[in-house]
Amino acid sequence: MQRYLVAMQTQHRVILGSSQKMSELGDGCVQLMVTSPPYPMIAMWDELFCKADPKIAELFRELNSDGGEETVRQIYTAMHEYLAKVWQETYRVLCDGGIACINIGDATRTINGKFQLYPNHSRITEVCEKIGFTTLPYILWKKPTNKPSYKGKGAFLGSGFLPPNAYVTMDCEFILLFRKGKLRKFPPKDALRYESAFTKVQRDKWFSQIWAFKGTRQTNSELERRTAAYPDEIAERLIRMFSVKGELVLDPFLGSGTTTKIAMQNERCSVGYETDPNLFPVITKKIGKTRLGINLEIIKR
Ligand SMILES: C[S@@+](CC[C@H](N)C(=O)[O-])C[C@H]1O[C@@H](n2cnc3c(N)ncnc32)[C@H](O)[C@@H]1O
């Protein structure tokens, strides 16, 4: 088995445009997708969904005037239809056996006096299964919560200490895992695959269902906070669990560029899509412009 003593040359592309059409990528050319989309029904993403789809903006206007539950259902569905176009494109560009990892949180929201859960993780699972993905066991990312506090304020919602009207606190996000087609096949003793092996300690930790760690959330700038960047650790684990050195990792919702940065550090190639032009300086700052053995191309559509 050949050993690689120097860091391998990798290629990276950041494409400033929508991943609903990834015309830069041929069928089957990506081995792994790692991403976190805008979360449907979380208020901070309403504006993005409204700008991206005028039908959603129109439904919000209707909601303000009629307050109907049917309109809320239509908004929720339309937001997932927006994301579904990206899951469909991801399916096309993934190779046979390629893995898709989607970090998503469910949403809770009170609209016109009605509090309810919007289970984004189950809606995405249904959509991905319809597209043809095989659903794999998922990971729960348990995030630290605020300390419980008195009179129902703080971490716990609802009616304080009196049954039955209090709500369970949501302190987990999902990392959904899907595969396209059958298991990937490799030649025996494939050198790069062996180079990419993880240790037993890593295997035991990374392949357990609950990941409990503090988000090393990026707090460099207001703009970066608004992208809701995931911690480097999430991208690092997923890239090392599900790809081999030199392979191509896609992030169709690149945000501040975390996936690209971690792919670079782990000798994977990468391609990321981002629609918000305000994030470009954030991305270039995060990934660093020039590094030895790294070829970075920024493509404006
Ligand atoms: C939750 S953030 C991603 C955060 C990222 N994981 C990070 O660590 O910085 C989602 C991003 O998707 C971008 N986005 C939304 N729709 C898009 C589309 N159709 N194509 C590409 N990017 C899109 C948004 O502008 C936003 O920056």
Q: What is the CATH number of the domain that holds 93?
A: 3.40.50.150
Atom of ligand 1 nearest to the CA of 286: 9
Q: Provide mean pLDDT across the span 175-196.
A: 97
Residue 211: pLDDT over 80: yes
Q: How many domains does the chain have?
A: 1
Q: Provide mean pLDDT across the span 203-229.
A: 80
CB of 39 closer than 6 A to ligand 1?
no
Cα(292) to centroid of ligand 1, in Å?
27
Atom of ligand 1 nearest to the CA of 82: 19
Secondary structure in 3-state letters for 248-294: EEEECCCCCCHHHHHHHHCCCEEEEEECCHHHHHHHHHHHCCCCCCE
Q: Provide mean pLDDT across the span 95-124.
A: 96
Of 42-46, 85-89, 154-158, least confident by mean pLDDT is: 154-158
Is residue 3 one of the residues assigned to a domain? no
Residues in a beta bridge with 10: 294
CB of 38 closer than 6 A to ligand 1?
yes
In the prediction, which pLDDT does 236 show?
97
CB of 20 closer than 6 A to ligand 1?
yes
Is residue 142 one of the residues assigned to a domain? yes
Is residue 212 one of the residues assigned to a domain? yes
Residue 4: pLDDT over 80: no
CB of 71 closer than 6 A to ligand 1?
no
Q: Provide mean pLDDT across the span 2-31.
A: 88
Residue 161: pLDDT over 90: no
Q: Write the residue with the smallest CA distance to atom 7 of ligand 1.
A: 229
Distance of alpha carbon 166 from alpha carbon 84, whole angstroms: 33
Of 68-82, 187-201, 281-295, least confident by mean pLDDT is: 281-295
Residues in a beta bridge with 296: 12
Specify the higher pLDDT residue, 183 or 113.
183
Contact 104, 127 (CB under 8 A): no
pLDDT digits (tens, 9 = 90+) for 46-81: 999 999 999 999 999 998 777 689 999 999 999 999
Is residue 66 one of the residues assigned to a domain? yes
Of 8-12, 130-134, 164-168, 170-174, least confident by mean pLDDT is: 164-168
Specify the higher pLDDT residue, 13 or 213.
13
Is residue 283 one of the residues assigned to a domain? yes
Torsion of CA 262, 266, 272, 274, to 10 degrees: 10
Domain limits at 216?
Answer: 10-300
Is residue 207 one of the residues assigned to a domain? yes
CB of 258 closer than 6 A to ligand 1?
yes
Is residue 161 one of the residues assigned to a domain? yes
In the prediction, which pLDDT does 292 show?
60
| Local confidence band at 301 (pLDDT 50, 70, 90 cut-offs) | confident
pLDDT digits (tens, 9 = 90+) for 109-121: 999 888 999 999 9
In the prediction, which pLDDT does 190 show?
97
pLDDT digits (tens, 9 = 90+) for 147-156: 554 444 556 6
Pairing of β 134-142 and β 210-212: parallel
Residue 221: pLDDT over 90: no
Is residue 25 one of the residues assigned to a domain? yes
CB of 234 closer than 6 A to ligand 1?
no
pLDDT more than 70, % of the chain: 88
Q: Write the residue with the smallest CA distance to atom 13 of ligand 1.
A: 253
Residue 3: pLDDT over 60: no
Q: Write the residue with the smallest CA distance to atom 25 of ligand 1.
A: 276
In the prediction, which pLDDT does 8 show?
84
Residue 275: pLDDT over 90: yes
CB of 103 closer than 6 A to ligand 1?
no
In the prediction, which pLDDT does 1 show?
47
CB of 247 closer than 6 A to ligand 1?
no
In the prediction, which pLDDT does 217 show?
54
In the prediction, which pLDDT does 10 show?
94
Before 163, cis peptide (omega within 30)? no
Atom of ligand 1 nearest to the CA of 19: 20
Of 109-123, 184-198, 216-230, least confident by mean pLDDT is: 216-230
Atom of ligand 1 nearest to the CA of 253: 12
